Each structure stands twice: as C-alpha cells, then as structure tokens.
Amino acid sequence: MEPSALRIVTYNVRYFGHMLRGLASTVGPKRRVAAALATLDPLPDIVCLQEVETSSLRSNIVHRPTRPGETQLEAFMERVEETFALQGREMPYEAFYFRAHHYKVGELSLYTTGLAMLVNTRTLQVDRHNVEAPEHITHHHVQGLKERKQSRICAHMRVLRRADQRAFHIFNTHLSLPTPFAREFWATRDKMGCGVNQLHEAKKLTGFIGLHAKEEPFVVCGDFNSPPSSPVFRYLTGDAHLTCAQASVGQINPTLSRAFPTAGFMHMRMHLDHLFSGGGVSWLDTTETRPFGDLTSRFHGLSDHVPLIARFRLDTPAPALVT
C-alpha cells in the first residue's frame, strides 16, 4: 500500500431503511453498515453518505431513539462505536451532518433529508466545513412546486492531511431526479442524467467547487442520478474537466451507461453514483467496489445502492516561481 494514499467511500444508505424498502429506519441496517465499513482494510479516511435522516416519523417509527432528540446519524455512530468496541479497537471517526430538507404536517416531522461525512481523525484534521449552511443547488423547474420539491445540497469540507498538513477539499452531493415537467423528459428513452434540471444543478455544483477549491486538490462524490454517457456525466467530465475515478483506473468504460450498476430498483439496474476529482488528485484503485447485485460484496443487500470505494494520491504541487 502506498503510505501517502488516502481512501474514500461514498454510499447512499437509503435512510438505513432498506429492509423496509425505505419506509422506515431499523437498527439492523445501521449495525450491518457499520460492521461492513469497520472491516475495510485500510480504514477509509473519509466516508460520505447520502440519504441520511435528521429525526422524523420515518426514522423513529421502528427504531425508537435512545434519548430525546437523537438523530439518525447519532444512532448510526453509536453502532459504529459498538462495532469498534467489539473488535477491541478505538473508533477514529468524527461525524458531520448537513441538513437538506424538512417535510412537516403541522408539528409532525414526516421525514428529513441530508448528507453526512465521517472523517478519520487519525489521518485528517478538519479545517472548515459548511454544516451550518450547506450550499443549495436545487433547480426549480416549476416555481409553483418549489416548496414541495426535495432540496438538493452540496456538503463541503476542507481537510488537512496530518502527516504533512497538505490541504484538500471534499464535496458530497445528491442531485435531483430528472424533472418530468420538461419536454426533453418525454423525448428521450433514457431519462436519468438527461434532465434539464439535473444539468442546471451540475453547473451550480461545479461553480461552488471552483469558488472554494480554487487551485487546491478536491474530490466530489455522491449520488448524481446520472449514468456514464449521460449529458450530466459528459458535462462533468468534459466542460467541467472532472476526472472520474472508475474510468481513470479502468473499472468502467465511460461511454457505456449500464455496464457497472451502482443501484437497483426491482429488476432495473443503474449506474448513478460517482467519484470525481480535480486540482491534482490521482486515482490509484477502486478495490472492493463491486457492482450492485454482486453477492461477494460485504455491502450486499444493505441499501438500494452500493458504495464506491477508492484510493487516491495528492500530486506533488508545482514549485513556486521565483521572481
């Protein structure tokens, strides 16, 4: 293993409710996801999660909070602590939650959406983040439905590698599904990644990345609801000059949309999740990333998505010019 390499996981956990088809969160998936992450060797330096609840009817109806106000991420981190304790190891992760949307009927919270990041504090030091104000990237194609549409955000964190204080950025996001209110939706056979709203969100995302990463290395990951070869994917890897991790190491052919599914619904298989980079990041491998449905994966059956797991290196910065 390359000593300077860093490892990242991006995973749509579907509210830890896959056993009940996303209708409610249960303890079992939290414990099994925690166990699967803890058995990765080497341990990830960063874990980015999508579809994580705050606290709501859906997250609490089956799994009752152990204390008032407990969030879903806190409940999950208790399972992570428990897993490491059973293995006789110290748990190295600090968790950060980025809240996106809140659906209420009166005072009853039906469900909430959000993103999370887990940072391995043995290897990384958090410099800054946007937990208090995640960047909103939602494109509202129909203004009249603005308040009902699920908000989409980008979570951002600047971290320092403890070994040498080298800085880099992590961006975690979850783009919208293609809007059915656009003519283009009905004009194409393949819908995912073809929505005009998705392309607008991708452009907002890259604008936000450029504003904060500037010349520093960065990784952007998440559920893009867009397969390889889609307009959104082509924009990100073309106009926006992002490097796709799986394509970089030869795991996928970026011109094929269905060759490596990362998500499944009934009999459908889709490649929706991605890891991208820029600013001086080199991808080394995607060891233990398995396609959706692979029975050999330690994450099989835990969500309607599979995680992407990759190692990367921060390239040596160019020496400053002497004037």
Higher pLDDT, 5 or 112: 5
Task: Say which DSSP state 305 is in.
Answer: B
What pTM was estimated for this model as a whole?
Answer: 0.87
Strand ranges (DSSP E) for 15-73? 46-50
Question: Among residues 286, 290, 311, which one has the least CA distance to residue 299?
Answer: 290
Question: Domain locations in the chain?
Answer: 5-314
Q: What is the per-residue pLDDT across 38-52, written as a single tens digit (0 to 9) for each?
A: 999 999 999 999 999
What does the pLDDT read at residue 118? 98
Is pLDDT above 50 for 18?
Answer: no
Query: What pLDDT is stored for residue 49 in this prediction?
Result: 98
Q: Is 143 helix (H, G, I), strand (E, B) or coil?
A: helix
Yes or no: domain 5-314 corresponds to CATH 3.60.10.10 = yes
| pLDDT at site 28 | 77
Helix-helix angle 72-86:27-38, to 10 degrees: 50
CB atoms within 10 A of CB 76: 25
